[in-house]
Structure 1
């Protein structure tokens, strides 16, 4: 490994960066927001083209669910492995490699082939996309001190919402007029173009770990009173992963990812087959779901930042806000199957699926606050590996329920989702406390 393969040395200095650094920080943040948009546009193709793919390839709901879950077969493993690697290799090059692989892995599916090609392409795409969110967050947050991380972290999470909001109408039109394989081609080309921009504009910031595992001491000073362990080095990963905060953030984020997997793969079919929406009507509801998700992500970032600046402990500013949002989403999902069809059903669906998304940003900033800079990639990657198993389980389970019970299977799936969110919200409120666990790690 050469000197160019590892994270650059971190300059010491005051927490406030000069204007040039601030512009670069927001340029990188904007690029990585688009990176996450493309990431979730890739994921959304299967859900948006579900009926067309099933008809074209002659798939049952269970077979389609298995093909969708294949995306997550290596997703979690690669997320953990690359997360650990990101503590040793510059995230810039890891992110570039991911973007290139996204486009390459989708080429066979865009050209032709049947179920086997579909499954293999999705497995490879999942392996390439598994580390995307934690590594993108690591690269983004390396440009900001702890007390300024809520907004940039939320913007990267917002890329999830914007990716689907942009992809839903555009890819639906492409699918209807040119076929689902053309939609795959479009997102593959978008990834290739983004990679070219990242080569010249991407990079890590002054709050990344140094090659020797030390940290920028300004990161510790900039914590605005929080008891992070960022001035320490060499804390074993097992100690971080054993903290109640890491466990609580991971359990809470699991519920969010369960909802994301449901929404990406099965929500369009649920709206059309169980609730009677047309294709265009379901697209509008999907946009409202993801739109509320975006509002929740930005809203929680503003609220959390305000609470932290007022001296509120992260236990409440992050764990409390995230836990309450998850419990609200759980209540909406549990009530949804019992509501009569109409506007109330739509409102409950939008609330249940939209409010849960904010926890992904909260979980990342919480673990970033807790973990030393030289352990953040591994801590975030390990969390992502556990969380994204929801993407492996949920599509397959829902497909089985639909094949077994027909349209009624969707209602059972929503009730299960509500139960998962209830447990996740409870975990956030009961376990997350970065200040307490930072003290224990420092002991």
Structure 2
């Protein structure tokens, strides 16, 4: 394989993307962490809080699709800079809110801008890293959202204690404006790698109607709809399970709740190195990714053992395995999109996948509460245990289609992916 060198600027952009992902998860969690404080400061009720969650989630799902098209139309330099700048201003507006209505408006703007980060990241990684090093680079980026989730509670509490609740919104927002400016200055003159030069790319993004005619698109959307709810369930229900079923206090929860996410990040980095090893030695990228999915999915049924775990140690071990499976699939699907679809349509695909995944997660979390109240956790964990194996079987059966089916170009003609 032709020797190559990843430019220094690629690693600088990767560091900035890490900051973007960290801020993305930090800013979205500020409201939930300050719920008790805002109850006293603004007279917020539980009903108000539920509406604030909806004010964020509704535009978040819709703008996942919209932002993907914007990234493919205007490129990552402009689009990601605008997304980060707008959500940072929205976060600062939340800090300046004088009532629930103004806070809801800020959260709506935050929900509209935040999903754009992930389609932009998809496009950046395809542009600045060659296929032989892309998995490892992506694995280095994967802990950013985990770290954001880990540091959010102590950081927001510290900012609130040293300033006030408004500072907990405004200061991270100001940092986000700095990151947006840094991104605008850094994302220039992308390289052309030897391994990418021979691959034909359309000059413009394909129309949405052409993208939706591609059967591979619907295959990946189905896979994402099947698997994403598992992660969303862990994200929203893990803390409550550890407190209610394992008897942890809030302080004790803070000491251990990060362990599954940390284990998942480590596993993703190891997986990234392994997949790059095989791709760099000439193995077909799509087959490498599908094999990775199948191996990870074999461990998903471990989740059914959660309610039988005899101690906190074993509960955390089971949750760690489930988190590893989920994160490898998140990580791998981004790589699969890069392997199958042209660069000019990748952000659109990332947006569609994110919207479908978030919708599936929202539906599951709405249904999970009544099911758990009536039947207990075992029914839910048993259902979740079969979702990744089901999706893996679907991908394995369609591996040849993913490798060889034509992809739509901007002019309506077909190109070989």
Q: Which residue of 2 aligns with 1:81?
A: 66
- Of 271, 276, 279, 2:242 maps to 271
**Cα deviation 1:399-436 (Å, max 9, x = unaligned):** 5557x55xx76665544543544443443433345322
Deviates more, 1:37-46 or 1:260-269: 260-269
Instruction: Say whether the 8 Å CA contact 2:122–2:347 is kept in structure 1.
Output: no
Q: Which residue of 1 aligns with 2:411?
A: none
Matched, 1:205 2:190: yes
Matched, 1:58 2:45: yes
Q: Tell me how large the CA RMSD over aligned residues is.
A: 3.5
Q: Which residue of 2 aligns with 1:219?
A: 196
**Paired residues for 1:61-140 under 5 Å:** 67-112=52-97, 116-140=101-125
CA distance in 2, matches of 1:311, 1:393: 41
Instruction: Say whether the 8 Å CA contact 1:35–1:194 is kept in structure 2.
Output: yes
Q: Which residue of 1 aligns with 2:266?
A: 295
- Of 354, 357, 363, 2:327 maps to 357
Structure 1 unmatched runs, 5+: 1-13, 208-215, 222-227
Deviates more, 1:46-55 or 1:318-327: 46-55
Instruction: Say whether the 8 Å CA contact 2:239–2:257 is kept in structure 1.
Output: yes
CA distance in 2, matches of 1:139, 1:268: 33
Give TM-score, length-normalised by structure 2: 0.82
CA distance in 1, matches of 2:98, 2:379: 33
- Of 365, 375, 378, 2:348 maps to 378
Distance 1:258 1:143, change over 3 A: same
CA distance in 2, matches of 1:179, 1:64: 20
SS of alignment partner, residue 15 of structure 2: helix
Instruction: Say whether the 8 Å CA contact 1:291–1:354 is kept in structure 2.
Output: no
CA distance in 2, matches of 1:317, 1:283: 37
CA distance in 2, matches of 1:75, 1:157: 20
Instruction: Say whether the 8 Å CA contact 1:79–1:385 is kept in structure 2.
Output: yes
CA distance in 2, matches of 1:113, 1:259: 37
Deviates more, 1:419-428 or 1:360-369: 419-428
Deviates more, 1:47-56 or 1:377-386: 47-56
CA distance in 2, matches of 1:80, 1:341: 42
SS of alignment partner, residue 57 of structure 1: coil
Matched, 1:36 2:17: no
CA distance in 2, matches of 1:40, 1:72: 14
Instruction: Say whether the 8 Å CA contact 2:211–2:217 is kept in structure 1.
Output: yes
Aligned length: 407
Distance 1:67 1:339, change over 3 A: farther
Matched, 1:321 2:321: no
Distance 1:230 1:156, change over 3 A: farther
Distance 1:255 1:272, change over 3 A: farther
Instruction: Say whether the 8 Å CA contact 2:289–2:332 is kept in structure 1.
Output: yes
Q: Which residue of 1 aligns with 2:175?
A: 190
CA distance in 2, matches of 1:69, 1:423: 30
Q: Shift in Å at residue 183 of structure 1?
A: 3.6
CA distance in 2, matches of 1:59, 1:301: 42
CA distance in 2, matches of 1:181, 1:302: 42
- Of 420, 429, 435, 2:403 maps to 435
**Cα deviation 1:72-121 (Å, max 9, x = unaligned):** 21223222222122222131111111111112222343245565555443
Q: Shift in Å at residue 322 of structure 1?
A: 2.3
CA distance in 2, matches of 1:115, 1:262: 28
Matched, 1:308 2:262: no
Q: Which residue of 1 aligns with 2:385?
A: 418
**Paired residues for 1:130-279 under 5 Å:** 130-171=115-156, 173-174=158-159, 182-203=167-188, 205-207=190-192, 219-221=196-198, 230=201, 237-238=208-209, 240-243=211-214, 245-254=216-225, 257-279=228-250
Matched, 1:346 2:316: yes
CA distance in 2, matches of 1:127, 1:34: 19
SS of alignment partner, residue 206 of structure 1: coil
Structure 2 unmatched runs, 5+: 409-413
CA distance in 1, matches of 2:34, 2:383: 25
